[in-house]
Amino acid sequence: MASDFSRTLALLRREKKISQRTAAGALEVSQALLSHYENGLREPGLSFVVRAADYYGVSCDYLLGRSMARDGSAVPAGRMAEPSQPAQENAEKKLVSEAVALLLDLAGRAGSRQLPQELAAYLSVGIYKAFRYLYMAAPESVDAMFRTKGEHFENLCDAQLKVCELRLRAAAAGGGLFGLEPEPVELPPLSPDALAAHAPEEAASLLALLQTVSDAITALGDALPADGRRR
């Protein structure tokens, strides 16, 4: 919590273009204590979190790093209080389907002919790979259903995924690398507020999905030693 909170607290103050002294006075703490909060040297109490959320016009969930949406509408399902199994499954389906739909919609609004195609190609490889994992575990599966043999498909999918990643990045930039044609690309605003204004429900799902993945990769990063090398 400390790193998410301190980073967000400092960013909100800078966004508001006010000094630490001014913010500290409004939040009823000393400037030194606010500096400690913003630098992650101390953790605040609940009353300060509520005051800061009110002062900056955001939710406590956003301030604490539980949600990427400022109104707190995109808290991942896994962070909710013990949802039932059917509710959890329905929430996960909704999360992924709406996030993918919004992603494709954003690519389509960029004025690019190639970007939606490259995004769909990238997602397709992941879907193919996931289906084959399920298929391999199913009873009476016949490997001959697929042209690529089971012992080869995983590495080949990984290789194709890397190619798709390169082409997707190139298509988003409009530069025409990796066999793509140069073209003007103008992506719509992608801030949480802009996404919510365009598609509230889908944006909440996308932001919740981003937060879930962020939690997972942050945990992996925290497991690494300080020098970044494997233990």
Mean pLDDT of 214-227: 77
- Residues 54, 96, single domain; the answer is no
8 Å CB contact between 115 and 106: no
Angle at 150 between CA 149 and CA 153, to 5 degrees: 80
Tell whether 78 is covered by a domain.
no
Dihedral pair phi/psi, residue 128, rounded to 5°: -60, -45
Cα(74)–Cα(167) distance, rounded to whole angstroms? 30
Q: Is 125 in the same domain as 181?
A: yes
**What is the residue type of 20?**
Q
What is the tens place of the pLDDT at every residue in 91-114? 678 889 999 999 999 999 999 999
Average pLDDT of span 29-56? 89
Same domain as 95, residue 182? yes
DSSP 3-state assignment of 72?
A: coil
Six token digits for residue 62: 């956003």
Give how many domains the chain has, as a whole number.
2
Residue 35, domain extent: 2-65
- Same domain membership, residue 193 and residue 120: yes
pLDDT (tens digit, 9 = 90+) per residue, 142-171? 878 888 888 889 999 999 999 999 999 999
Element (H, E) at 97: helix 85-108
The verdict on residue 72 lying in a domain is no
CA distance linking residue 74 with residue 88, whole number of Å:
15
Where does the pLDDT of residue 231 fall: very low under 50, low under 70, confident under 90, or very high at 90 and above? Answer: very low
**Torsion angle of the four alpha carbons 151, 178, 174, 196, in this order, in degrees rounded to the nearest 10:** 10
